[in-house]
Amino acid sequence: MQKGENFNHPAKGCSTRVEPIRDMGKIRAIENSLSGNPRNLALFTIGIHTWLQPGELLDIRAGQIQHLNPGDEMDVKVFKTGTVRKIQLNKACIDAVQNLIIEMKKKQNKDLEPDERLFTGQRGGLSVSSLNNLVKKWCAEVYLKENCGGQTLRKTYGYRQLIHRGLGLKDLMNEFNHTTSLQTLKYLCVQPGELKNIETKSTAQTLKVSHEGNEETVASLKKEIAELKQTMEKYRESEEKFKTLFEYANDSLIYMDNTGHIVEANDVTEDIFGWSRKEARGKHYSEFLLFRQDYFDDETFQSFVTSDLNISREINEFEVFRKDRTSIYIEVSTKLVKKKGEAKGIINIVRDVTDRKQMEKALQESEEMARALLNATSDAVMLLDLNGTILDTNMAYAEIFGRQIDEAIGLCLWDMVPPDFHGLKETLARAIETGSSIRLEKEYQGVWMDTMLYPILDSQGNVSRLAVFSQDITKRKEAEETLLRHRDHLEELVKDRTINLEQANTALKVLLKRREEDKTELEEKMVLNVKELALPFLEELKQSGLTTRQNAISQILEHHLNDIISPFVKTLSSKFYNFTPVEIRIANLIKQGKSTKEIAVHFNLSSRTIDQHRYNIRKKLGINNEKANLATHLLSME
């Protein structure tokens, strides 16, 4: 059979437990399969014919047994108590041991030492774990359906004594060092139907003894039958109560043996951890409870198991992983189960507290954030009850009061501020009464504070607390005062400067106007001088019979003079646009109030010619069809 093919392989630590071999045919089959292996046959034979624990069986030495005959007794040191008990070995045990000793002598080619272990492997003496695996293998090879392990051998002995050989329950209870018959029945995995058979056999034995006439023995057997019935009833009641409590509990119930392996778990366990009951059985706590941190190791666990402390009320919280590797928080209440002062197992009551832990974490983070924000702000923040008691504050307010935060909390605000500051009390009372926020600015010990009072309402809409937010505005107040002084000073300066600027502006306007007039006058004089003093004579020169070369030069001279006065003509062309030099001279005389006759005499021309010039001037000025006085019009153009 390959590894993993054992369909009946019991889960590690499972107590559904490790069961006895009930079928005699299977026992014979195992003995036949082990006939070629003296060590394993001796192990199996002694194991199913004695009450020895696995460790006690593996500790047998050559000196204890090699000289014994069938029916002889062997001294055995009981591991649990340290006492020495005698055990009788039958012929099957002695024969199996003798065959093993012969085999060992052949391999070693010498006699065995008295202290030499009988049951060894390649690395020395066999361990309990090795025996456990061997028994599982033997049982699997004969297709046993029971859960098997190292304790199977010892339980098989007890089961055969009780069921097949009719040994009294009390005798067997004493042999196994149990305190009650119920404990023995549970240990041997006796089923309710088998209890009936035990009762029937005990009754038959009673009848047989009664027939033989031994009244004292009959009375003893009847008493034993009555006790057995009572035990059976208690057993059934106990099983039913346990099942009800176990199955209908709201929390996960996990029972572990004293090695840390899970024996049984209820259905809630699967809801919490994701492992089914079948998967949970036999798992070591380190496999099942995948701790996020190393809370304890096997050494710590064993010290816990061997502890004499009463830990029934101890509750621990752990962060663990579910089967799907999601993280959860559990609360574990642990009870150490002891029998005769010795730890037999551990009952764990497990509750999923992930939601609570998450809420606690969120609350803690919220409080830490609130505290960080309180101390991060430069504003002074304080929470008051309706009587003015400080419920919380930050460093800013604590420093104002000259105290630490812890010292300030719990004190009354009115005991910490001066009497002349008690106007704040009335303001707080008004905020409580109206349920509205109030803002005020007050000076306290030379410090100006801008304070906002915020009423906090409860679920009923009533004010239950007051939040006070104060900001040091002393620098702002000082800056405002300085700003006001500077503003007043600036206003005076601006007023003075405005007057000066207005005066300067007026003077400048006058100067600019005068400059513009001077400029215009200069331009007019230049244009007039050119047109009156230069161009007329140039025109006469051109009419004086010049040569071709002289005529060309005169034209060039006329062009250059026009270029000289052209920048000024744009501003003066409205007065003398296209006026000939003669018309310009006549226009100037008209402005001076000269009559036509006076002008004709001045130019030595006829009055008719002057009238024609006056007509041309009016036409060029666009007033030839208007009844406008030419002299007045020319004067208005200046």
**pLDDT value at 204 more than 90:** no
SS3 of 258, please?
coil
The residue ranges of DSSP E strands in 430-578, in sequence order, are 438-444, 447-457, 463-472
Helix H or strand E encompassing 342: strand 342-352
pLDDT of residue 282: 86
Residue 88 domain-assigned? yes
CB count in 10 Å sphere of residue 598: 13
Q: How far apart are CA 599 and CA 611, in angstroms?
A: 10
Radius of gyration of the chain (CA): 63
Between residues 52 and 9, the one the model is more confident about: 52
**What are 529-548's pLDDT values in tens digits?**
777 677 777 777 877 878 88
Confidence tier at 594 by pLDDT (50, 70, 90): confident
Q: Which residue has the tokens 């006469």?
A: 540
Residue 324 domain-assigned? yes
Amino acid residing at 176: F
Helix H or strand E encompassing 603: helix 596-603
Between vectors from CA 204 to CA 203 and to CA 209, what angle results, nearest 5°? 95
Collect all residues with Cβ–Cβ distance below 8 Å to 248 and sequence separation of at least 6.
Answer: none
Q: How far apart are CA 16 and CA 147, in angstroms?
A: 7
Mean pLDDT of all residues belonging to the chain:
79
The answer to whether residues 618 and 631 touch, using CB atoms and an 8 Å cutoff, is no
Tokens for 460? 């009923």
Q: 336 with 295, same domain?
A: yes
Helix H or strand E encompassing 385: strand 380-385
**What are 575-584's pLDDT values in tens digits?**
555 777 788 7
The answer to whether residues 448 and 477 touch, using CB atoms and an 8 Å cutoff, is yes
Collect all residues with Cβ–Cβ distance below 8 Å to 420 and sequence separation of at least 6.
Answer: none
Dihedral sign, CA of 609, 614, 615, 620? positive
pLDDT of residue 301: 67
pLDDT of residue 1: 42
Q: 350 with 381, same domain?
A: no
Mean pLDDT score, 362-372: 77
Burial of 112 (C-beta count, 10 Å sphere; 0-12/13-18/19+): middle
CATH label of the domain that carries residue 387: 3.30.450.20
pLDDT of residue 99: 92
* Of the residues 472, 507, 534, the one at which a domain ends: 472
pLDDT of residue 291: 65
Q: 398 with 352, same domain?
A: no
Tokens for 110? 């010498």
Q: Which residue has the tokens 């006070």?
A: 468
Q: 413 with 329, same domain?
A: no
Residue 97 domain-assigned? yes
Q: 142 with 29, same domain?
A: yes
SS3 of 338, please?
strand
**What are 313-358's pLDDT values in tens digits?**
567 788 888 888 888 888 888 888 777 667 778 888 888 988 888 8
pLDDT of residue 197: 57
Q: Return the closest-CA partner of residue 630 out of 638, 531, 617.
A: 617
Residue 206 domain-assigned? no
Residue 205 domain-assigned? no
Q: 455 with 568, same domain?
A: no
Tokens for 155? 């339980």
The DSSP line for 27-96 is HHHHHHHTTT-HHHHHHHHHHHHS---HHHHHT-BHHHHTT--TT-EEEEE-TTT--EEEEE--HHHHHH
Strand partners, 317: 331
Collect all residues with Cβ–Cβ distance below 8 Å to 550 and sequence separation of at least 6.
Answer: none
Q: Which residue has the tokens 């093919």?
A: 5
Q: How far apart are CA 230 and CA 182, in angstroms?
A: 10
Q: Return the closest-CA partner of residue 462 out of 437, 434, 439, 438.
A: 434
* Of the residues 472, 488, 507, the one at which a domain ends: 472
**CA 312 vs CA 24, 183, 248, 339, 352: distances in Å:** 43, 22, 21, 15, 19
Q: How far apart are CA 13 and CA 283, in angstroms?
A: 7
Q: 393 with 349, same domain?
A: no
**pLDDT value at 454 more than 80:** yes
Residue 52 domain-assigned? yes
**pLDDT value at 565 more than 60:** yes
**What are 141-176's pLDDT values in tens digits?**
988 877 888 899 999 998 888 877 777 777 777 788
Residue 491 domain-assigned? no
**What are 180-192's pLDDT values in tens digits?**
777 777 788 776 5
Domain that holds residue 130: 24-190
CATH label of the domain that carries residue 172: 1.10.443.10
Strand partners, 438: 453
The answer to whether residues 116 and 149 touch, using CB atoms and an 8 Å cutoff, is no
Q: 349 with 389, same domain?
A: no
Residue 232 domain-assigned? no
Q: 296 with 342, same domain?
A: yes
**pLDDT value at 93 more than 90:** yes
Domain count, the chain: 4
**pLDDT value at 195 more than 70:** no
Helix H or strand E encompassing 536: helix 535-542
- Give this prediction's pTM: 0.37
Collect all residues with Cβ–Cβ distance below 8 Å to 340 and sequence separation of at least 6.
Answer: 179
Mean pLDDT score, 55-70: 90
Q: 32 with 142, same domain?
A: yes
**What are 601-622's pLDDT values in tens digits?**
888 889 999 989 888 888 888 8
Tokens for 445? 């010990």
Q: 526 with 620, same domain?
A: yes
Q: How far apart are CA 313 and CA 141, in angstroms?
A: 46
**CA 212 vs CA 209, 215, 218, 220, 324: distances in Å:** 5, 9, 10, 14, 68
**CA 345 vs CA 75, 165, 348, 544: distances in Å:** 29, 31, 10, 153
Amino acid residing at 302: Q
Q: 533 with 632, same domain?
A: yes
